[in-house]
């Protein structure tokens, strides 16, 4: 009796793991992505970027995590200073994302993947890169172009980042997977009970209103436009960044400066009421240094078990335990950074908290995530009853073991992104300068060559006790 039951069970697994355009590796059923990436994160924190690359799990284009691997490799190559290789990986990722958007539009192969997700877990669904990760990808790609001395390519890439945010604002995460939605009539969820049990994640989210408007991208865009003399475009993007971070002193100054320079008298009057009088004390033939300071690594999704009542189509209430992703409050120590410039100590101001964007994105996805989880549990329960009926205690045990071991939350996200990024801006006389960065008990000298009437962009990356930097004259 055991052999036919086991064979039937194996056949079910083979069907959903090998069918369709995307496949899930067997280890992904029982080991979360975040757990698999721990060796990569450890090497990255220590600044061992090439060693970290070797630890990234290999995936082919049919794998559900294929695009994530491209993003991780692109970021690690960027950190390692191999900008050509980084550009290559990000280009591949961008093309893949565009293809997935087209498939989603025409609902291609979505049904088969959802069948796999219902039988196993959400890791069987192709990873759809969220908007904040897409905008960060285009931002780093723009930096790749800059470091390869292709300013026009950088501007094109930054426009792509802005298009991502514009499209996200329009869609506003209202669309839920059509195939899953069609199954929602089978269950009725107690959303009040869910809200009372599931963490609100407010400590992580903070003041972030949504998971797709990214001031980091707007700021890079504005700096590039300003450096290329496109002041109107720069002004628009500085204002967008300021809307997200109204307390950022450098954004306030940049918006006031361009409003004055462009003769936006009405805007300037309103802005001065909010931020104070603008004093134009810029000197001719002076240079500007813009410093972007990336700190730490983004928090990974954790896994929690939620026990909640579910009403079936027969109006029967049953309690089920489901695994859901969640962001806990960060355990990383947020070390304040200072920069000494010409005997003056300047403080950084935050321009993005990637943890907050990630947590807010997850919060918006929860209704569809929980719906899929409940549908999956009901489907697995039906499979268990069938195997128990056909295989007795042995069939029941096999089904229960599989259901318990395969019930895993989807902890996938781009894990080599920084935890946060901060900015600083100052005027400097033309020539070579040595800036002193202080991060906790660590000092790092930053050498810059400032050009008259130009912007020098400095990108500092601090992970653990390791600090790297890159400078480029715009």
Return the domain boundaries, the chain.
2-473
pLDDT in tens, 283-301: 788 999 999 999 999 999 8
Distance CA 168, CA 133 (A): 12
Sign of CA dihedral 334, 335, 340, 345: positive
Q: What share of the chain has pLDDT > 70, as a percent?
A: 72
From the list 389, 380, 388, the residue with the least C-alpha distance to 320 is 380
Q: Is the pLDDT of residue 116 over 90?
A: no
More confident residue, 297 or 182: 297
pLDDT at site 241: 94
Residue 187: C-alpha distances to residues 30, 191, 280, 351, 375 (Å): 26, 12, 63, 42, 8
More confident residue, 104 or 45: 45
pLDDT at site 216: 94
Burial of 234 (0-12, 13-18, 19+ CB in 10 A): buried
Joined together, the tokens standing for residue 246 give 């109204």
Q: How confident is residue 396, by pLDDT bands cut at 50, 70 and 90?
A: very low
Q: What is the mean pLDDT of the chain?
A: 80
Of the ranges 44-53, 94-103, 436-445, the best mean pLDDT one: 44-53
Fold of domain 2-473: 1.25.40
- Write down the pTM of the prediction: 0.83
Distance CA 400, CA 388 (A): 10
Joined together, the tokens standing for residue 126 give 């192709």
């Amino acid at each position: 009796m055991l052999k036919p039951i086991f064979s039937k069970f194996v056949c079910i697994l083979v069907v959903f793991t090998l069918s369709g355009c995307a496949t899930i590796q067997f280890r992904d059923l029982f080991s979360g992505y975040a757990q698999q990436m721990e060796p990569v994160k450890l090497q990255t924190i220590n600044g061992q970027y090439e060693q970290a690359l070797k630890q990234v799990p290999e995936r082919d284009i049919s794998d559900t995590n294929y695009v994530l691997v491209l993003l991780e490799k692109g970021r690690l190559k960027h950190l390692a200073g191999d900008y050509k290789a980084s550009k290559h990986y990000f280009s591949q990722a961008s093309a893949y994302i565009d293809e997935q958007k087209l498939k989603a539009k025409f609902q291609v192969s979505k049904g088969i993947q959802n069948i796999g997700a219902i039988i196993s877990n959400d890791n069987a669904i192709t990873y759809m890169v969220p908007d904040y990760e897409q905008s960060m990808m285009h931002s780093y790609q723009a930096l790749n172009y800059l470091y390869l001395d292709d300013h026009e390519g950088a501007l094109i890439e930054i426009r792509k980042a802005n298009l991502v945010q514009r499209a996200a604002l329009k869609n506003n995460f209202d669309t839920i997977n059509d195939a899953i939605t069609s199954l929602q009539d089978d269950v009725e969820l107690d959303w009040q009970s869910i809200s009372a049990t599931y963490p609100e994640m407010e400590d992580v989210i903070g003041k972030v209103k949504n998971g797709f408007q990214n001031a980091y991208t707007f700021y890079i865009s504005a700096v590039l436009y300003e450096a290329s003399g496109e002041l109107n475009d720069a002004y628009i993007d500085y204002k967008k960044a300021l809307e997200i971070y109204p307390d950022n002193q450098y954004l306030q100054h940049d918006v006031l400066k361009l409003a004055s320079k462009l003769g936006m008298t009405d805007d300037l009057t309103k802005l001065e009421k909010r931020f104070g009088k603008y004093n134009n004390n810029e000197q001719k033939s002076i240079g500007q240094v813009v410093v972007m300071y990336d700190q730490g690594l983004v928090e990974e999704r954790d896994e929690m078990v939620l026990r909640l009542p579910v009403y079936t189509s027969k109006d029967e209430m049953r309690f089920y335990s489901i695994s859901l992703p969640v962001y806990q409050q960060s355990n990383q120590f947020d070390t304040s950074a200072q920069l000494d410039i010409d005997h003056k100590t300047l403080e950084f101001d935050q321009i993005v908290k990637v943890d907050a964007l990630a947590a807010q994105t997850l919060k918006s996805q929860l209704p569809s995530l929980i719906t899929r989880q409940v549908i999956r549990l009901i489907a697995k329960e039906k499979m268990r009853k069938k195997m128990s009926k056909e295989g007795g205690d042995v069939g029941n045990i096999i089904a229960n073991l599989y259901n318990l071991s395969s019930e895993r939350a989807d902890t996938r996200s781009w894990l080599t992104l920084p935890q946060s990024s901060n900015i600083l801006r100052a005027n400097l006389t033309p020539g070579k300068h040595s800036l002193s960065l202080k991060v906790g008990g660590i000092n790092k000298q930053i050498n810059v060559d400032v050009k008259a009437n130009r912007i020098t962009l400095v990108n500092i990356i601090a992970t653990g006790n390791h600090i790297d930097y890159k400078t480029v004259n715009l």
